[in-house]
Amino acid sequence: MDKGRQVEHSGTARVRFPGISPRAYEHPVDRGALATLRMVPGFAEVLKVVSGLISERGERLMALGSAIRVGPKQYPELDRFRRECAETLDVDPVPNVFVARSPDANAMTLGMDEPFIVLSTGLVELLDAEGLRFAIGHEMGHVLSGHAVYRTMMRRLISLQLSMSWMPVSALGLRAILAALHEWYRKAELSCDRAGLLCGQDPAAALRAHVLLAGGVDPAAQVDIPSFLRQAEEYDSVDDIRDSVLKLRNIQDMSHPLAVVRASQLQKWAASEEYRAILAGDYPRRDDDEPHASWSEDVKSAAKSYKDSFAASADPLSKVFADVGEAVSGAAGKVWGKFGTRDDGNGEGTPRP
């Protein structure tokens, strides 16, 4: 592996990751959930149909006409973060960033052919400079991982579901696909928090951002970080099945993980050997990726992640979902093993496209 190069940004040396593969930071359940999502009946057909329903050019024009495009003369600090994060993760071309008026603190990456990033004014006003770098780096992770395709699909399907609510069969079919998309996207958010950390390389800044998103007003003065992180442990250690069911109902339609749990997950990764190895330049490169051949490995990694999460949790439903996750991932792997290669005519198998 090539060593990452250090560059100077605003007086702080940060490591760049030339040619980094998104597999370096993607959560194994993210990759496994996406692999199994693609197996949902009708998913491929719906993707094709939805892709043609709304012009991506129209979405970009809407952003251009209703929000502020970040550039050297408009939000110059955000423009610097945009370029630096793209440089750190070796994302080319550099995606456009827009700032849109909304009191809610959020950000999203949209578009299938030319992804672009939208930040809300609520987010820009809430976060400090390094928090904004983390947020933009997070969205760059979505771009590099190709998440924008499925995020855009999810937004379109939500709108389509509302217009088709009078058709029970169609609505049920869309709901199944939307549920799978939501489950995958929650895992994708964990992946892209890691990408944001790789851009900022400051775990404390990432944690401050999560505290603010969770409800902190002045993290330094009014929030005790150890107590904040203990909330995640308490949440995961419930021993009442009723609480487990309530947890499931709370998140089923959410596109993001719960803020406190999300913060804890990222801080654990920041303390891991995996993160330190990436900073030292030991990371997979895009040139070495074999996307088709790695599909079965993705579902195996997802199964292991489900199993490990059960081992670390006292939640009475976690074993159920760990078993389900392993079963689904294992089934997906068997299907791929049976149908995932084709004969070239020379006795050698190659992955199916």
Would you place residue 41 in the very low, low, confident or very high pLDDT band (cuts 50, 70, 90)? low
Whether 16 contacts 90, CB under 8 Å = yes
281: alpha, beta or left, given left = phi > 0 and alpha = psi -120 to 50? left
Q: Which tokens hold the place of 347? A: 């006795």
Helix 28-37 and helix 318-339, axial crossing angle in degrees, nearest 10: 60
For the chain, the domains span 6-339
Query: What are the pLDDT digits (tens) for 304-320?
Result: 554 555 445 444 444 44
Closest CA to 98 of 259, 87, 114, 88: 114
Amino acid 157: pLDDT = 66
SS3 309: helix
Q: Which residues pair with 118 in a beta bridge?
A: 98, 108
**Helix ranges, the chain (H):** 28-37, 43-53, 56-66, 76-89, 121-126, 129-145, 148-163, 168-200, 203-214, 219-222, 225-236, 241-251, 259-270, 273-279, 295-311, 318-339
Length of the chain: 353
- Residue 168 is encoded by which pair of tokens? 């029970």
pLDDT digits (tens, 9 = 90+) for 114-171: 889 999 999 999 999 999 999 999 999 999 988 877 766 666 666 665 555 544 444 5
Summarize pLDDT for 237-250 with one digit per residue, the tens: 665 444 444 544 55
**Residue 83: other Cβ atoms inside 10 A:** 17
At 19 the three-state DSSP class reads: coil
Is the overall model pTM greater than 0.75, yes or no?
no
> Which is more confidently placed, 13 or 52?
13
20 touches 283 (CB < 8 A): yes
The residues, any chain, with a CB within 8 Å of residue 260's CB and separated by 6 or more, are 210, 214, 228, 229, 231, 232, 235
**Those residues with Cβ within 8 angstroms of residue 330's Cβ, 6 or more apart along the chain or in another chain:** 299, 303
- 346 φ, ψ to 5°? -115, 15
